Structure 1
């Protein structure tokens, strides 16, 4: 067991944003353009996700994204690439079910960095809790074309059942909803017990996303 897991209490108290923007773009420049737009209009948490690009290209983008996030006092999370996160001094990583293990990432990044994990079942959630994640990305709520290998859709009923079981685990790790989420979903997701949402297309395709960002931040203001 990792030495860092002895510090679970302090790890779990790290601040998690209720709005996590997952970057989109056909190349480095589009990713950075979209990231800067979200930051400029009030976003405070960026996940750099470049699944189809080389690690070298991800690193080049991450270094510039780190500068942007620092400028706006926002968190930068790197999807999957743990070594890139360490090299560019990102705030942490987000790991999918087929990515680097949480324990390995913690050994590489240390106790102070944020580590999030993707989940689709209660078993996934429990495993993440045992391995010491700082937050869980649970989904998808509904179909989304953003992710190619989409897990089974949960829907609101799936979230209700999972969160009811999750609440019995006696932990303080926040759960973020992900997957095809719309603004009209916020009230129901908050009521179910979700601590926030991760979105991509909603903000990427909005010319002026200030309204969407403020509604999300206000909607979950008391949840995280």
Structure 2
């Protein structure tokens, strides 16, 4: 079984900084899972960001995931890809990337979760938890009650695929979210816009560690 981190960091290009520069700052602050989330860029520019970000991740020993583009993930030999609902199907992405690479998928409903599990993804990004300006065309907000319902449905259906909560999540949200049964959380702006990125990442990891200590051994 592939190791899926409990804290997923997602890049943004902010204040004139590239995605690679954002990734470097986050990795230096102990982010060990990086999703490169490039939108609306020509393929060659996307590829250049990917190669730069991949080199940074390798330097810091961080897992490198590309958002949306399985073809690019295969071309640069990324650690994996995260697929949105309108991207290449997980089955096609698996044929392209092979069995060793990580494939994640986006879900907003339990039906989405079931479809992704059937397609053999390694983890599921379920959200949004609350409103976030990071993503356009936002799906309906789930809130804590939505996670409670869907994780209960997963338990009843014996679904064990790691679920990652995403969407405007802050450090105080970690404990109640993990209590629903999610595996971890994905964050972007809260790290990208932080003056002290290491402090923010440490806060998240401490919350994740506290829940792990209560729940028993697992990987963060």
TM over 0.5: yes
Tell me, what secondary structure is at the counterpart of 2:137?
Answer: coil
Question: 1:115 and 2:103 equivalent?
Answer: yes
Kept in 2: contact 1:95–1:117 (CA 8 A): yes
The runs of 5 or more residues in structure 2 that have no matched partner are 213-217
> 2:26 aligns to what?
38
Q: Counterparts in 2 of 1:90-109, with a 5 A limit?
A: 90-109=78-97
Q: Counterparts in 2 of 1:69-218, with a 5 A limit?
A: 69-218=57-206
Tell me, what secondary structure is at the counterpart of 2:18?
Answer: helix
Number of equivalences: 212
- Give 1:117 shift: 0.3
**Residues 207, 84 of structure 1: alpha-carbon distance in 2 compared, 3 angstrom cutoff:** same
Tell me, what secondary structure is at the counterpart of 1:220?
Answer: helix
Kept in 1: contact 2:154–2:160 (CA 8 A): no
Aligned-CA RMSD value: 1.4
Kept in 1: contact 2:184–2:208 (CA 8 A): yes
Tell me, what secondary structure is at the counterpart of 1:137?
Answer: strand
Distance in structure 1 (CA, Å) of the matches to 2:145 and 2:160: 22
TM-score w.r.t. length of structure 1? 0.91
- Give 1:29 shift: 4.7
The runs of 5 or more residues in structure 1 that have no matched partner are 1-12
Tell me, what secondary structure is at the counterpart of 1:47?
Answer: strand
Tell me, what secondary structure is at the counterpart of 1:128?
Answer: helix
**Which stretch shifts more, 29-38 or 40-49?**
29-38
Structure 1 residue ranges, 4+ long, deviating more than 3 angstroms after superposition: 26-29
> 2:49 aligns to what?
61
